[in-house]
Amino acid sequence: MGSLKREILELLDKDLEFRYAVAGYLGLSEILKRLDSITEEQKNLREEQTKIWREIASIREEQMSLREEQVKLREEQIRLREDFNKLRDDFNKLREDFNKMLAVIGRMDVRLSRVEKTLEKLTIDVEDEAKSVIKYRLKEMGINVDLTSLILPGLELNIYGVSDDICVIGEAAVRAEAGLVDKLLDKLGKLRGSYPEKLRKNIILVMYVSLPMVELVEKAKEVGIWLLKATEEFYRPGELFLKD
Q: SS3 for 54-104, per residue?
A: HHHHHHHHHHHHHHHHHHHHHHHHHHHHHHHHHHHHHHHHHHHHHHHHHHH
The beta-carbon contacts of 186-195 under 8 Å, at least 24 apart in sequence, are 187/155, 187/157, 190/154, 190/155, 191/155, 194/152, 194/154, 194/155, 195/152, 195/155
Calculate helix-pair angle for 179-194, 214-223, nearest 10 degrees. 40
Structural domains in the chain, sorted by start: 126-235 (3.40.1350.10)
Cα R_g (the chain), whole angstroms? 60
Q: What's the whole-model pTM score?
A: 0.53
Per residue of the chain (244 residues), give pLDDT as tens. 667 777 767 766 677 677 667 666 666 556 546 655 766 777 777 888 788 788 877 888 888 887 888 888 788 888 878 887 887 888 788 777 777 776 666 666 556 555 444 444 445 578 889 999 999 999 999 999 999 999 999 899 999 999 999 999 999 998 899 999 999 999 999 999 999 999 999 999 999 998 999 999 999 999 999 999 989 999 999 999 986 5
Residue 233, pLDDT score = 94
Residue 25, pLDDT score = 67
